[in-house]
Chain A
Amino acid sequence: MKFSFEFIKEFCDPAVTPQDLARRLTLAGMEVASLHQEKKDWVFEIEVTANRYDWLSIIGISREVAAVCGCKIKVDMPEQEDEEELKEIRLSIAASEDCPLYIGRYIKGVTVQDSPQELKDKLSACGISLVNNVVDITNYCMLKWGNPLHAFDADKIEGEVRVRRAEEEEKFFGLDKKERILNRENLVIADDKKILALAGVMGAANCEVDSKTENIVLEAALFSPLTVRRSRRSAGLETDSSYRFERRVLPEYVDVASAAARNMILDLAGGRKSGKKVCGSIPRTKTEPIRIELDHFYGYIGHEIAKKQIGEILEHLGFKVKNIDARALEVTAPVFRLDIQREVDVYEEITRIYGYDNIPSALPALLPSVEKGLYQFQSQVRNFMVSLGLREMISFSITSDEVLKKIGQEKFLPLSNPLRSQENALRPTLLTGALDVVRHNLNQKADRLKLFELGSIYQNDNNSCRETPMLSITVSGVERPAMYLRGLIEQIIDFLNLKDCLWQEIRVSGFSAVREISFQGKVLGKMGKVSASVCREWDIKQDLFFFQADLSVWQELRKEKKYQPFSRYPFVCRDISLALGRDMSFADIEARIREKAQPWLRDLEVVDIYQGKKLSSGEKGLTVRVFYQSEEKTLTSQEVDSLHNSLRDSLAAIPGLTVR
């Protein structure tokens, strides 16, 4: 909302500079977003919050100015002698819930032309575009009183004017020269043949006041905020008029604004008045008295403000203040403050004018809760991931059905009102974000990626949403990525302090090889290689490995660590060179090593993997280093050799495996 300094000065004398006024208003809650000079005037642009409908008029703003500057406000009411009944046109309300009050005034013989310069300047400063004297006057009165008005060319009206709901598919051609198809949500002003206006929103072009207009009907009305809101949303537009009706206008000013406009028209456009018709009645608005217990107020704000000062502040804001006793007041908000409904609303009025900055600061004494939940666990996991040398990424939870189709995800939760089709589904996996991030970085020539993400996935669970906190790890472009990722997972298993986890082969769409890691039947996560076809879709030309895990399972399974005694006797290591046959996997020999190298097996490690000339095709050469250690003694090399040789013999017996 824009207003000018000179306009305000018609109603009060703030006796401060525009800059000082802007600061005072801002600190009292009317945020002045900008202040600039225009000709000899100063233009304020303010943010009007949804509760302060009374700030959508210059008079309302002047009241606030008067309150923060401690000056008086003076508003002259327009002259209103008894008026004749309007005879020329019949008016009626067919939808009284949508429109409790409709006032028409007929003015004959006006001369439509440009407005005088003074009026033009005033409207322009407030950001209102100029049309002609009649329309400009209705806009001026809307600005001043807060009540939107509309002028129809009376000679273009055919038959009776009715306020009614639109029919389905009824057409409306607005002053903005756009056609809209209406429905039952829309409230309209119509004559026997056509729609004259989208009620409270915009007039129709067919009864526009132009230079040829001689007779006009001036409309002032009260439309239901909800009706106007739904109507203008359904029609897809918002105007200065609908903005005010939606937030509520003052019923007491409907007739006042109309009379003021009529007087101005007679003054500036000539013509003579010819009757008024009132359909419906002015609904009575009443504000209830609210009891203010000073002790409660002080205990709410944490500061004492003298009773006398409280009274003054409220009276400046237009409240009626009644002294109940030494510790209590009864206050009644003015009728234009229907947002004041209970004591806390009054507390805000007092403190905002007193100044929030004048309230002291204090710290409450809190007994910290030490309960640990998902947040704390996620933080721990995040720190652990960083310690493993991974970088955290954050990607969008919203993706699209098309993307999900590419990775073979059929089940997901769609959004019903996406902004764009690229964002129409909730992700059921963290893979979508990972693929986008890998593609982006590869395009930027960053090809060594070790990333993790903490975020939720969403699934349809019996027609409601199941939201699961997950962790993903994405690895690409590092040396031996599969072994690297597996190494990370082994670290995770250690972090969770679990032993004897199962690595089972499973199939997952979008992946060419997957292992599911579980502990006592609970899935700790799945690691796999993203399939070549998915990589192609994302233009990823290097191997990509991905791991995803449900954090709630981790949180449930994680065991506290206890010190484990370790052997202080030296360990001995022996290498075995092997050639794995075409269809063999390491798992095929690992179990044998773990079994046969007992009781002194401490660890094993693959120190080399090679393929090449010395091996027949499909064979894979390996060097496995076996670490032996006893808990009780220093092993002699004979003891180790004897165990190691029997391990070699046992491995040599595995079909397809060559011990070299």
Chain B
Amino acid sequence: MESEIKALQQKAEQEIKAVSAQAQLEDLRVRYLGRKAEINRFFAAMKSLPREEKGKTGKALNLFKKKISSLLEEKAEEFSTTEEKEDLTFPGLKIDTGSKHILSHVSEEISSIFERIGFQVIAGKEVEDEWHNFTALNIPLDHPSRDAFDTFYLDLEEKDKGKYLLRSHTSPSQIHVMEKKKPPLAVISPGRVYRPDKVDASHSFMFYQLEGFCVDKNITFAHLKGVLLHFAREFYGEDVVLRFRPHFFPFTEPSAEVDVGCMVCKQKGCSVCSGSGWLEVLGCGMIHPHVLEQGGIDPAQYQGFAFGLGVDRLAMLKYRINDIRLLYENDERFLKQFNEI
């Protein structure tokens, strides 16, 4: 009889293990431990067993009951925890995130690259006088070199530094900083500038520039190249290719324009770089001694470099934005694309 009980126990154990729904578990409990359970047959038959067998069989039967009810309990426990299975296939809720404007992001990114090598970032004013915007920067008021700087004037009375205007570039911030601080200077000044241009895919009457400059006793053209190379490597990646091309700016001498190898076509020539393999990204040079003088700095003792770049253009190139108007339209579908940055 003992072996029969063992066989029954094995069968029960297997069946309990195989259970996949709670209802089946109840069926098994009734079948193996209920009033009509097979086990009861053994209890009944036990009476007729010899005495020494009776003890053994009784023990085995009790063991059986204990084992099976504990197995049933365990299994039931299992069901109570996994029973209401979570459906993880529902779509995610729409999470409201905040985001920086892409122009702020790019401007902050550029600024922080220079900050890490010792530059200080200073906000500048947008309303200027003619002296700061032009004269102090070697741009005579009536000269062809001013043609690149069409300007919005304010309807305000002219004062001793000329008419008021909306700055047409960030370079006046050089003069403002020089007027307030003594060298060594290493400054970045990002901000809005204004030119009365007709609006189209690549022109806006308001856009962002970033000015950088550095003045000390022995700042050289080689430093200018090094600082801009460092910037380009951080901004575009270590394999960036740079080209310094001589150019003319009234406020720097020597002056250069800087091109980066087109990252779209890897300099093979494409529509973005008009087939040239190069993209012009900024203008720079050694600050003209006359400009230092205008800022109250003795050019016999100090020298320095300056550069200016268009934040809109850099952002557009980096993120392949093909129309500048997208930057100022503030369409939710545009703004939210830059959530992660």
Name A's B-contacting residues (CB within 8 A).
Answer: 26-29, 31, 49-52, 226, 229-230, 246-247, 299-303, 342, 344-345, 347-348, 351-352, 356-357, 359-371, 373-376, 378-379, 382, 385-398, 413-419, 423, 426, 437, 440-441, 444, 446, 449-451, 454-456, 458, 460, 463-465, 467, 469
Contacts and interface: CB of A to CB of B under 8 A. Distances in A.
Nearest to A342: B289
A376 B121 contact: yes
Given A366-B184, A392-B104, A446-B332, A464 B244 contact: no
B123 to A, nearest CB: 4
B328 A344 contact: no
B316 interface: no
A478 to B, nearest CB: 9
B117 to A, nearest CB: 7
A456 B99 CA distance: 20
Nearest to B181: A369
B152 interface: yes
B205 interface: yes
B155 to A, nearest CB: 4
A359 B222 contact: yes
Contact of A389 (B98, B190, B253, B327): B98
A375 B115 CA distance: 12
A417 B333 contact: no
B96 A389 contact: yes
B104 to A, nearest CB: 6
B244 A356 contact: yes
A391 B335 contact: yes
Contacts of B257: 31
Of listed A302, A449, A455, A469, residue having the most chain B CB within 10 A: A302
A204 to B, nearest CB: 25
Given A344-B253, A364-B216, A389-B96, A375 B222 contact: no
B255 A348 contact: yes
Interface band, chain B: 35 or more
A398 B152 contact: yes
Contacts of A302: 220-223
Given A391-B98, A440-B331, A303 B222 contact: yes
Given A31-B247, A352-B254, A398-B194, A382 B104 contact: yes
Interface stretch (B47-55, B85-93, B156-164): B156-164
B254 A351 contact: yes
A145 B49 CA distance: 136
A441 B154 contact: no
A387 B123 CA distance: 23
B234 interface: no
A382 B246 CA distance: 38
B218 to A, nearest CB: 6
Contacts, number: 240
Interface of B: 96-101, 103-104, 108, 111, 115, 117-123, 125-127, 142-145, 147-148, 152-157, 159, 164, 166, 184, 186, 190, 192, 194, 196-198, 205-206, 214, 216, 218-223, 225-227, 229-230, 243-248, 250, 253-257, 286, 288-289, 303, 327-333, 335-336
A460 B157 CA distance: 11
A392 B289 contact: no
Nearest to A31: B245
Contact of B206 (A398, A413, A458): A398
A369 B153 contact: no
B332 A356 contact: no
Nearest to A363: B226
A64 B223 CA distance: 28
Contacts of A458: 126-127
A400 to B, nearest CB: 13
Contacts of B155: 413-416
B121 A375 contact: yes
B293 to A, nearest CB: 12
Contacts of A371: 120
Contacts of A26: 245
Contacts of A469: 123
A512 to B, nearest CB: 25
A364 B225 CA distance: 10
A303 B243 CA distance: 18
Nearest to A436: B330
B98 A388 contact: yes
Given A347-B253, A392-B104, A366 B214 contact: yes
Contact of B221 (A351, A379, A390, A418): A351
Contacts of B104: 382, 392, 394, 454
A364 B227 contact: yes
A391 B222 contact: no
A361 B229 contact: yes
B126 A51 contact: no
Nearest to B120: A369
A229 B142 contact: yes
B120 A368 contact: yes
A52 B250 CA distance: 12
A378 B214 CA distance: 23
A507 B66 CA distance: 81
A463 B155 CA distance: 9
Q: Which 6 A-B pairs have the closest CB atoms?
A: A302-B222, A302-B220, A366-B118, A29-B246, A49-B248, A348-B254
Contact of A419 (B157, B196, B230, B253): B196
Most buried by B among A28, A374, A375, A395: A375
Contacts of B256: 356
A343 to B, nearest CB: 9
Given A364-B216, A366-B214, A398-B152, A392 B101 contact: yes
A387 to B, nearest CB: 6
A51, A392, A418, A426 pick with most chain B CB within 10 angstroms? A392
A616 to B, nearest CB: 37
A35 B148 CA distance: 24
Given A387-B98, A419-B205, A465-B127, A446 B186 contact: no
A454 B155 CA distance: 25
The residue in A52, A357, A391, A467 that gathers the most chain B C-beta atoms within 10 A of its C-beta is: A391
Contacts of B145: 50-51
Nearest to B304: A364
Contact of A347 (B122, B230, B254): B254
Contacts of A393: 101, 330, 335
B118 A391 contact: no
A364 B223 contact: yes
Given A386-B98, A390-B98, A396-B328, 16 more contacts: A27-B246, A50-B145, A50-B147, A52-B248, A229-B143, A299-B220, A303-B220, A360-B222, A364-B226, A368-B120, A391-B332, A398-B152, A398-B206, A417-B153, A450-B98, A463-B157
Contact of A367 (B118, B190, B218, B245): B118
A23 to B, nearest CB: 11
Contacts of B190: 375
B98 A415 contact: no
Contact of A363 (B100, B156, B166, B227): B227
Contacts of A52: 248
Given A359-B221, A415-B152, A344 B286 contact: yes
Nearest to A357: B244
Contacts of A419: 196-198, 205
A460 B156 CA distance: 8
A397 B332 contact: no
B61 to A, nearest CB: 53
A22 to B, nearest CB: 10
Nearest to A370: B120
Contacts of B243: 27, 357
A397 B206 contact: yes
A360 B221 CA distance: 9
Given A397-B126, A397-B192, A361 B225 contact: yes
Given A413-B156, A415-B152, A366 B253 contact: no
B19 to A, nearest CB: 43
B244 A362 contact: no
Contacts of B154: 413-416, 426, 465
A50 B31 CA distance: 103
